[in-house]
A and B are shown apart, each in its own frame.
Chain A
Amino acid sequence: DTEVTQTPKHLVMGMTNKKSLKCEQHMGHRAMYWYKQKAKKPPELMFVYSYEKLSINESVPSRFSPECPNSSLLNLHLHALQPEDSALYLCASSQDWGERANVLTFGAGSRLTVL
């Protein structure tokens, strides 16, 4: 298995809703990432988990809450989002992280629309 699987592919939510994005990989990778990509922009790093511990939080607002239940799963819990949070959310994984990260494998993304 050489894939990163993200669900759902599309999500529409209101500003008062609570929802979650899910990401799964079975490559034995020990680092997992959340990126946010606005239209016609490059991906921006949000969070990095290494060995199931949060290693990097790029000053992301608390309405985004990451969770890494085990080495194969990464969630992003969403609460009280704003319309400007509408974007493509990409999950990625790598064998290790930091300078040893080498290649990141990306999922297809979850397209979020906040009404």
Chain B
Amino acid sequence: GNSVTQMEGPVTLSEEAFLTINCTYTATGYPSLFWYVQYPGEGLQLLLKATKADDKGSNKGFEATYRKETTSFHLEKGSVQVSDSAVYFCAPLGNEKLTFGTGTRLTIIP
């Protein structure tokens, strides 16, 4: 089955800092890869996705590149804002199921 290893949190950064949240996965074949975000008290929202090797997903200043050779899909943002404080989940879609990583709680301080 699928599995995903996600950077342990919590992560605390100052506003305008550079963000990286690491994600590596194990799956058969070539799964589609997703990052979902969960703001406090809410459900999950799609942040970005990539469906094949070397694709780059991007949204709201966040980026992640599908790296088949390292089975990774690391999330990056050049300058974080207080409003980016949330929990971020990496999730490969493989074997007909979406498997979520453990989640990384991000807190941005002004």
Residues of A within 8 A of B (CB): 4, 6, 40-43, 45, 56, 90, 92, 97-99, 101-109
A42, A104, A106, A109: the one within 8 Å of B101 (CB): A42
B41, B49, B96: the one within 8 Å of A98 (CB): B96
Known A41-B102, A98-B96; contact A106-B89, beta-carbon cutoff 8 A: no
Cα A35 to Cα B99 in complex, Å, equals 11
* Chain A residue at minimum C-beta to C-beta distance from B51: A102
What string of 1s and 0s marks CB contacts (under 8 Å) between B17-51 and chain A? 00000000000000010101000011111100101
> Which residues on B sit within 8 Å (CB–CB) of A90?
43-44
> Which residues on A sit within 8 Å (CB–CB) of B66?
none
The answer on a CB contact under 8 Å between A108 and B42 is: yes
The answer on a CB contact under 8 Å between A108 and B43 is: yes
The distance from the CB of A87 to the nearest CB of chain B, in whole angstroms, is: 13
A6, A101, A105: the one within 8 Å of B98 (CB): A101
* Chain B residue at minimum C-beta to C-beta distance from A103: B46
A selection of 29 A-B contacts at a CB cut-off of 8 Å is A4-B43, A40-B103, A40-B105, A41-B103, A42-B103, A43-B44, A43-B89, A45-B97, A90-B43, A90-B44, A92-B43, A92-B44, A97-B96, A99-B32, A99-B93, A99-B96, A101-B96, A101-B98, A102-B32, A102-B49, A102-B93, A103-B46, A103-B49, A104-B44, A106-B36, A106-B44, A107-B43, A108-B42, A108-B43
Cα A99 to Cα B103 in complex, Å, equals 23
> Which residues on B sit within 8 Å (CB–CB) of A107?
43
> Which residues on B sit within 8 Å (CB–CB) of A101?
93, 96, 98
> Which residues on B sit within 8 Å (CB–CB) of A103?
34, 46, 49
What string of 1s and 0s marks CB contacts (under 8 Å) between B86-98 and chain A? 0001000110111
A42, A92, A99: the one within 8 Å of B89 (CB): A42
Cα A98 to Cα B34 in complex, Å, equals 15
